[in-house]
Amino acid sequence: MDNLVPWARLKAVIEPHYPKAGNGRQPYPLSTMLRIHCMQQWYNLSDPAMEDALYEIASMRLFAGLSLDKAIPDHTTILKFRHLLEHHGLARQLFEEVNQWLSEAGVVLKEGSLVDATIIEAPSSTKNKASERDRNGGPPGSFQPSYPKDCV
């Protein structure tokens, strides 16, 4: 994902609205929060679940640019970043930026349909050599009606 996603372009959309370092606590780097936000969307994680994942999954921490021995953003920090995106309408702008980047790369996205299919075992054919349906779906002449024992 490091090489696939246009991180610089996405950061440029958010940067004018992202808090700058001042007298208070230093904000996490924008690239870190953007990557956390993307992972949260990709894996459909709530803010607390994303925080837990960052603690428990080293590869997620490394992807976000967080060291394994320092503090990570808590769920309220993750929530505030998402609210920043929502408040300034940046999610739509990020979406449009990704679409523009895909278009420039020659990738065309079209609407599609998702079809759920279940594969079941079935006989290869239910027709005999005369192309007629066999009553039991088996080979011709193999139909043996069965009757309950008390009817015979």
Domain boundaries, position 42: 7-104
pLDDT at position 5 is: 84
| Helices (runs of H) and strands (runs of E) counted in the chain | 6, 0
pLDDT tens for 17-30 read: 998 877 677 889 99
Euclidean distance between CA atoms 54 and 81, whole angstroms: 16
How many domains are contained in the chain? 1
Question: Considering only CA atoms, which of 10, 19, 86, 17 is closest in space to residue 47?
Answer: 86
Q: Count the neighbouring beta carbons within 10 Å of the beta carbon of residue 110.
A: 4
Question: Considering the domain boundaries, does residue 40 fall inside one?
Answer: yes
Q: Per the structure block, which two tokens stand in for 104?
A: 């420039």
Assess if residue 30 is contained within a domain: yes
Q: What is the pLDDT of residue 103?
A: 84
Q: What percent of the chain has pLDDT over 90?
A: 44
Domain annotation covers residue 132: no
Asked if the structure places residue 117 within a domain, the reply is no
HSE-CB for 7 with a 13 A CA cutoff: 17
Helix H or strand E encompassing 32: helix 30-42
What is the pLDDT averaged over residues 107-134? 66
Q: For the segment 68-113, what is each residue's pLDDT rounded down to a tens digit?
A: 888 899 999 999 999 999 999 998 998 888 888 888 888 766 666 6
